[in-house]
Every structure is written in C-alpha cells, then in structure tokens.
Amino acid sequence: MEELRKNVGLVFQTPAPFPFSIYKNLTYAPVYYGIRDKKKLEKIVEETLKLTGLYEEVAGELHKSA
C-alpha cells in the first residue's frame, strides 16, 4: 500500500490557491526549493501564466490576491 501511495498523485478539480498574491502562489514552490533569483522567478511566473493562457488577463495584477 505504501508503494502505491508513492506513485499516485492528486489533482484537485477546483483550484485552491494559497491566500497570497498571484505572484507568490506561483513562486512558492520554486522559492521553497531554493530559487531566489528575482529574474528567474519572474521568468517562471511569466512562462507559467503564458502556458496556461492567463498571462494577458493577470499580467498587471500579479501582486493582487489570487
């Protein structure tokens, strides 16, 4: 059973962002894993939002609550 749990993931159907800004939600994991360079973090945010088709919609609101 433990082996099965290691290989199974969970994807929620309803988004559940942290009570942070859009930017902080998108940089939470990279910062946790040691990425501190602001340019790298900004690139991650931009690429992620473009990949999901949300960049144009939220680009000016990255520091507002998610």
Query: What confidence tens digit (pLDDT) does each residue in 5-49 have?
Result: 888 887 778 888 889 999 999 999 999 999 999 999 999 999 999
Give the residue among 33, 35, 32 at the shortest CA–CA distance from 20: 32
**Alpha-helix runs per DSSP H in 1-66:** 2-6, 22-32, 38-52, 55-58
Question: What is the DSSP-derived secondary structure letter of residue 12?
Answer: -
Q: How far apart are the first and last CA of the chain?
A: 36
Looking at the chain, how many residues does it have? 66
Give the whole-angstrom CA distance, residue 4 versus residue 31.
29
> Confidence band (pLDDT; 50, 70, 90) for 58?
very high
pTM of the model: 0.75
